[in-house]
Structure 1
Amino acid sequence: MGFLDGLMGNASKVDVEKLEKELGEVLIEGEKIQSGYKVLRDSFIFTDKRLLLVDKQGMTGKKVEYHSIPYKSVTHFSVETAGSFDLDSELKIWLSGSHEPIGKLFKKDSPIEDVQKTLAEHVL
């Protein structure tokens, strides 16, 4: 991920092995990471059991919030691909009990279709 992509809020794919080492204490026994994406210091991780949002806070990023969303809580989602003049793709996820979606931007060459497939496999 380039620094400018991060400043613009664009997400980039993160290596699964790196995420497994970083999140080893958070994952439950037998839980497998399928894919993960990062925006500057924050990330969102798709496991075989849940969507895990990781929010690093403060100047040092030592304070971390782990927000677990069971896939059954996802009511619907949308994926918007990048166009000729639109330089990013967008993912929106709506949760039961919430009116506003969780939204993430992806750079133009990100595998947004893979994200859609991962969500579809767990939600549908």
Structure 2
Amino acid sequence: MSTIKGSTPKTTIKKILLWVLLLAITSYITSCIFISKQKSIAFEAINIGDTQGVVIGRLGMPSHVEKPSTLFTRYASHHCQHPCVERLWFENRLSFDIEAWSVELDEGGRVVKKAYWASP
């Protein structure tokens, strides 16, 4: 087995593992930031009155669909209220804290309210 000059095989393996760990952490953080920025840009492009199809086209499939009878307690403390008949949730699941975007739809499937949720 070939080693780096002045290092033992154990030292070489430790260095490789350290680099792999650093690369994994950097990739995770970069991915989290990328998702957050992409979702935020798409969220800002959504307007009141847009259809559910436009919302899904911009933000992708929702992480959760909340109906008025079932509160999504991970983020919300109150049900969506009339004219809202369902709330679509789009989460950044890589985030260490809470980060999500919600879009409320009326019975015609049009946006009536949208919100950004993040922990302090």
Same-fold status (TM-score > 0.5): no
Larger strand fraction of residues: 1
Structure (1 or 2) with the larger CA radius of gyration: 2
TM-score, normalising length from structure 1?
0.26
